[in-house]
Amino acid sequence: GNQYFYILVVFLFLQQCSLCDHTLYPYIMLEVLLPAASLLQLMDVRQVCCEFLQSQLHPTNCLGIRAFADLHTCTQLFSQAHGYAEQHFSEVMLGEEFMGLSLQQVCSLISSDKLTVSTEEKVFEAMVAWIKHDKEARLEHMPKLMEHVRLPLLSRDYLVQIVEEEALIKNNNTCKDFLIEAMKYHLLPADQRHLIKTDRTRPRTPISLPKVMIVVGGQAPKAIRSVECYDFQEDRWYQVADLPSRRCRAGVVFMAGRVYAVGGFNGSLRVRTVDVYDGGRDQWTTVPSMQERRSTLGAAVLGDLLYAVGGFDGSTGLSSVEAYSYKTNEWTFVAPMNTRRSSVGVGVVDGKLYAVGGYDGASRQCLSTVEEYNPVSNQWGYVADMSTRRSGAGVGVLSGQLYAAGGHDGPLVRKSVEVYDPPSNTWRQVCDMNMCRRNAGVCAINGLLYVIGGDDGSCNLSSVEYYNPATDKWSLIPTNMSNGRSYAGVSVIDKPL
């Protein structure tokens, strides 16, 4: 009885701690409590511990929790932690815990069909990073690991530019054989590729995680700190942690597991600051600021970089563009656009960044022009104009096509929508939205394009509508946001546990 009481006190104490330090806590928990509970055969304490640890799973600790669960034969926790690591592999592979895995553990993880990665490149990068972490000891494991990287599924460009150039591969014949196999796969006509009989051509089949839409800040009617999420399955809005400070007209994107809110307007100043949201922890932190103040900018992720495009610094519209790398934690300028664009919308299709419409402070005109950025040549060039001028359009990407929804030309707010097809360099009209909207948020998920809030020229809207390209129809979602908001940023994130 006494021991039970003692453990309960420790447990309650640690539960308080969890509010201040999430990373350390599960370990204290495991080191102290779980072995004690096992030893004393207090199965219900053990159960509570395991359930609690499950609720603490995070990309930075899931492999540690998995190892402990293994050690103490907590089967359920083990499989939960393992599944979590597979589902969050893109973030897990960046962490210390991954670097500390044994060869056999890395092999078992990267050979899993259930690994969730945006592209197979991530698996290749993870493997190279693991080897380089302790190159002398691990170099000899390269061929063993390469066996599990599905090289044929990488793009031809990536194979040639990155994989072929990687010294670790160049210097070993067994590794080269895997590369040759991948090249062969690409050279064969599509209907003959099945002749290459190997596990490496089988696409991974991850269990997709439920997603929610996160709506960050905005004007309602002034700059606000509020952040709310929409659960698509439950048709429900709920509040999450507020922004550290008021922010509207920011650029909002999702990158490497976190949501970035870049620049914007805080109610009195255009800012260069960047807030970052970790959904697992429901917590905002900051990263280095941009070099320029920017509100009504466009923000998008291309490769490993977050681009901040154009915007308004408080006195002029900007043509400048800067990019942030989460690896170096730095902002650097890239080539500027040909036009100053505030209230610009951006999107990424097939390795190119597009800047759509906006407002050119110099000629005082809303723009119908569109520019394309090639990160390899670091150059901007014009592509086909839209059919109309659109400033503050909602820009998003669905199935390789770039949508421009609503926006305005002077006082006229639009409900029309047009779509750009990069291969044919043409815009075409699709069905109008239900409402006129400018300065709305946009995101795409499950083959649908969502347009969130905005204003119709007199009111800030709380409604959200989505476009289904299969039916060419816009529909309102059943439940509105708690507030009308324009100039909010929107992104899609994993549903928190």
Binding footprint of ligand NAG on the chain (CB under 6 A): 140, 143, 172-174, 219, 221, 245-246, 266-269, 271, 455, 459-463, 479-480, 486-487
Q: Which is nearer to ligand NAG, 111 or 172 (CB)?
A: 172
CA distance 85 to 126: 13
| Token output for 213 | 């839409």
CA angle (146 as vertex; 144, 151 as ends), nearest 5:
160
State which residue, 156 or 170, has the beta carbon closest to ligand NAG. 170
Query: Can you read off the two tokens belonging to residue 176?
Result: 């080269």
Rounded Cα distance between 228 and 464, Å, is 13
Nearer to ligand NAG, 143 or 469 (CB): 143
Question: Smallest gap, in angstroms, from Cβ of residue 246 to ligand NAG?
Answer: 5
- Distance in Å, CB of 190 to ligand NAG, minimum: 32
As measured in angstroms, the least distance from the Cβ of 228 to ligand NAG is: 15
Nearer to ligand NAG, 272 or 340 (CB): 272
Positions of E strands within 182-329 = 211-216, 227-231, 236-240, 251-255, 258-265, 270-278, 283-287, 298-302, 305-309, 321-325
CB of 144 to ligand NAG, least distance (A): 7
SS3 call for 106: helix
Shortest spacing between CB 406 and ligand NAG, in angstroms: 14
Of the pair 7, 461, the CB lying nearest ligand NAG is at 461
Q: Least CB distance from residue 213 to ligand NAG, whole Å?
A: 16
Query: In this structure, what token pair is assigned to residue 217?
Result: 């800040």
Q: How far is the CB of 469 from ligand NAG (least distance, A)?
A: 23
Give a three-class secondary structure readout of 48-99: HHHHHHHHCCCCCCHHHHHHHHHHCCCHHHHHHHHHHHHHCHHHHCCCHHHH
Nearer to ligand NAG, 38 or 111 (CB): 111
Cβ 220 to ligand NAG, closest distance in Å?
Answer: 7
Which contiguous run of DSSP H or E holds residue 494?
A: strand 489-494
Measuring CA to CA, which residue among 281, 379, 216, 326 is closest to residue 60?
Answer: 281
Q: Which is nearer to ligand NAG, 111 or 479 (CB)?
A: 479
Q: How far is the CB of 401 from ligand NAG (least distance, A)?
A: 27
Question: What is the closest distance, in whole angstroms, from the C-beta atom of residue 29 to ligand NAG in the complex?
Answer: 39
> Between residues 68 and 450, which has the closer beta carbon with respect to ligand NAG?
450
The residue at minimum Cβ distance from ligand NAG is: 221
Which of 443, 379, 388 has the alpha carbon at shortest distance from 415?
A: 388
Residues 6+ apart with CB under 8 A from 123: 89, 110, 115, 117, 148, 149, 150
Q: Where are the alpha helices (DSSP H) in 305-448?
A: none
- 51 vs 140, which CB is nearer to ligand NAG? 140
Q: How many residues are listed for the chain in this entry?
A: 497
Residue 495 burial (C-beta neighbours within 10 Å; 0-12, 13-18, 19+): middle
Rounded Cα distance between 460 and 481, Å, is 11
Nearer to ligand NAG, 217 or 298 (CB): 217
